[in-house]
Amino acid sequence: MHPAAIAITVYAMLLFKKKFLAAIRSGHKTQTIRLWKYRRMRPGQRSYIPGAGYIRITAVDEVRLDELTDADALPDGFQTAAQLRAEIERLYAGQLAEGYRAYRVVFRLAPEESKHRPKRQAEQL
């Protein structure tokens, strides 16, 4: 193999605070609100959550934080929209100040995909 050619596997990861991992593993938390300059994930995409496993993204929609309802907060692991917004403000203060957009990322656990990992793809650098 040429020294400049290396094999890498690219998995988009979603990182979560440890306090959310049990709810993700149990299936009670099935979405997250992320602040990005532009949409970084697409429906159908496979991803990985360290501490929880593989997931499949089922929807990615831009949302307005001030329009989130208590019903929106429940699949995110919060009882109220106010609690969800407070957590977003705590985690993403810098991004909010810079005008990043809010995206709701809906996902489902995909433990069956852990057993059927795709073959590594080589990428020329």
Residue type, 19: K
The 10s digit of each residue's pLDDT in 107-117 is: 999 977 655 54
Q: Are strands 12-13 and 46-49 parallel, antiparallel or unpaired?
A: parallel
Dihedral, CA of residue 17, residue 21, residue 27 and residue 32, to nearest 10: 10
Q: Which residues face 63 on adjacent strands?
A: 102
> Distance (Å, rounded) from C-alpha 96 to C-alpha 101?
8
At the second CATH level, the architecture of 5-115 is: Roll (2.30)
Distance CA 49, CA 14 (A): 5
Q: What is the pLDDT of residues 41-91, one digit of tens each?
A: 999 999 999 999 999 999 999 999 999 999 999 999 999 999 999 999 999
Sign of the CA dihedral with 26 first, then 87, 45, and 47 last: negative
pLDDT at 122: 36
Task: List helix spans (H) across the chain.
Answer: 21-26, 70-73, 81-91, 93-97, 111-115
Domain segments of the chain: what residues?
A: 5-115
Q: What is the pLDDT of residue 111?
A: 76
Q: How many helices (H) and strands (E) does the chain have?
A: 5, 7
Closest C-alpha to 40, from 104, 119, 109, 96: 104
Q: How confident is the model at residue 11 (pLDDT cuts 50, 70, 90)?
A: low
Task: Write down the mean pLDDT value for the chain.
Answer: 86
